[in-house]
Chain A
Amino acid sequence: AQKITQTQPGMFVQEKEAVTLDCTYDTSDQSYGLFWYKQPSSGEMIFLIYQGSYDEQNATEGRYSLNFQKARKSANLVISASQLGDSAMYFCAMREAQNRDDKIIFGKGTRLHILP
C-alpha cells in the first residue's frame, strides 16, 4: 500500500501567488518524520523542510512552510509568494522510526509550473 500519497500530478500557479502542495501519509508509528524535497529540471534533489511528528509547531524555512495536521495524517507544503524558479517536481517523504525499518520513502511527486 502507498505510504505517501501526493494527489496532484501537476499544478499551474501564477507567479507571486501562494501554492499548497498536498501530501498525506500512512503510518501506525507515533514517532516519524516528514520531509519535502524539490527536483528542478536539472535533476538534483534539494532538501526543503522537515517536520517531526512530535513537533508542536509547523515547520517553516523562508518561503516554505509545512501545514502539519497530525490527526488527518497530512503534511502539505505551502510556498508563499511563488517565483518562476519554483517550477520543479516536489516530493513528500517520510521516515517511520519506531521499528527497525527507518528508511526514508518518497511519494510520486507533484510537478509545479509557475506562470509569469
Chain B
Amino acid sequence: DTGVSQNPRHKITKRGQNVTFRCDPISEHNRLYWYRQTLGQGPEFLTYFQNEAQLEKSRLLSDRFSAERPKGSFSTLEIQRTEQGDSAMYLCASSLRIQMDEKLFFGSGTQLSVL
C-alpha cells in the first residue's frame, strides 16, 4: 500500500490550455474525492465517486471541469480552457466507505498555476 498518488505534482500552463490530473487511490478504497484548495483556505469539494459512479459534482464548478473514474480505480480531473482563477492545489482523497467514520486519505496534491 503506497497511499494515494497524484500526478503531476506541479503543472504550469497558459490560459486557455487544457490540463488533466491523475489520482491513483488506495487499491481497496471504493470512494474517491476531488477537492480544490487555495492558500489559507480549506479544501473545497469538487466531486466524488463511489466505485465508478460519480455521485455529485459541485454546483460551483463550471462545465469546463470534468472527472472520470473508469473501472472504479484511478481517476482523472480535466480542466478545459483554463483560467487564472483555476490556479490552486487540487487534492485527491480516497476512502473505504463502509461506516460513518470514513477516514479520508489524501494525496500530496497537484499544484496548478495558470499564467
Contacts and interface: CB of A to CB of B under 8 A. Distances in A.
Interface stretch (A14-22, A73-81, A103-111): A103-111
Q: Name the residue among A37, A52, A101 with the largest chain B CB count within 10 angstroms.
A: A37
Nearest to A42: B108
B102 A95 contact: yes
B1 to A, nearest CB: 15
Interface residues on A, range: 20 to 34
A91 B43 contact: yes
A44 interface: yes
Among A103, A105, A109, find the residue whose CB has the most chain B CB atoms closer than 10 A. A103
- Could you say which interface size class chain B belongs to? 20 to 34
B101 A52 contact: yes
A97 B100 contact: yes
Contact of A33 (B35, B45, B89, B102): B102
Contact of B101 (A33, A43, A100, A105): A33
A12 interface: no
Contacts, number: 57
Contacts of A68: none
A107 B108 contact: no
Given A33-B102, A52-B101, A103-B48, A45 B91 contact: yes
Contacts of A95: 100, 102
A104 B33 contact: yes
A5 to B, nearest CB: 11
Ranked 9 nearest A-B pairs via Cβ: A45-B106, A106-B42, A33-B100, A50-B101, A108-B42, A106-B43, A109-B42, A47-B103, A91-B42
Interface of A: 4, 6, 31-33, 35, 37, 43-45, 47, 50, 52, 91, 95, 97, 100-101, 103-109, 111
13 contacts: A37-B104, A45-B43, A45-B91, A45-B93, A50-B103, A91-B43, A95-B100, A103-B55, A103-B56, A104-B45, A104-B104, A106-B45, A108-B42
Interface of B: 33, 35, 40-45, 48, 55-56, 89, 91, 93, 100-106, 108-109
